[in-house]
């Protein structure tokens, strides 16, 4: 195994470049792409953002419920650890009880990936592919 697609399918993850984040609105596309990996478990109904005290604050309506999280601004890069934590918080707030969760990772060949997978699949990725680091 040497390809990510040998372990997880295209609909379970996306890859991107983690820079060009200048406002909270720049996170919206990443949130939509993350929700798409849940195959309908999470649906974004509304999104707003604000910048306060060095943090991007997100107010969302997901599956008809209000959710909020924030991430500290990191230059023009996505704050991957806090982004992952916020997405997983939304899963919990929406009553998700499955084994999958959002996991960010990257490597020398890939700036970053965000996947909606089980911990077992993540460990398989780490075991079989190039060395990954958590966001």
* pLDDT average per 10 residues of sequence, the chain (135 residues): 69 76 89 96 98 96 97 87 96 96 78 88 77 47
pLDDT at 135: 43
Q: Is the dihedral of CA 29, 34, 37, 38 positive or negative?
A: negative
């Amino acid at each position: 195994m040497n390809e990510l697609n040998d372990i997880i399918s295209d609909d379970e993850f996306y890859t991107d470049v983690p820079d060009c984040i200048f406002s909270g609105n720049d996170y919206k596309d990443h949130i939509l792409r993350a929700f798409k990996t849940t195959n309908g478990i999470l649906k974004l109904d509304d999104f707003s953002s604000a910048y306060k005290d060095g943090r991007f604050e997100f107010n969302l309506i997901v599956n008809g419920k209000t959710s909020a999280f924030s991430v500290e601004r990191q230059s023009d890069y996505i704050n991957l650890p806090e982004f992952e934590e916020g997405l997983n918080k939304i899963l919990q707030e929406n009553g998700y009880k499955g084994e999958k969760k959002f996991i960010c990772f990257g490597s020398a060949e890939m700036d970053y990936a965000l996947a909606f997978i089980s911990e077992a699949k993540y460990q398989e990725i780490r075991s079989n592919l190039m060395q990954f680091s958590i966001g």
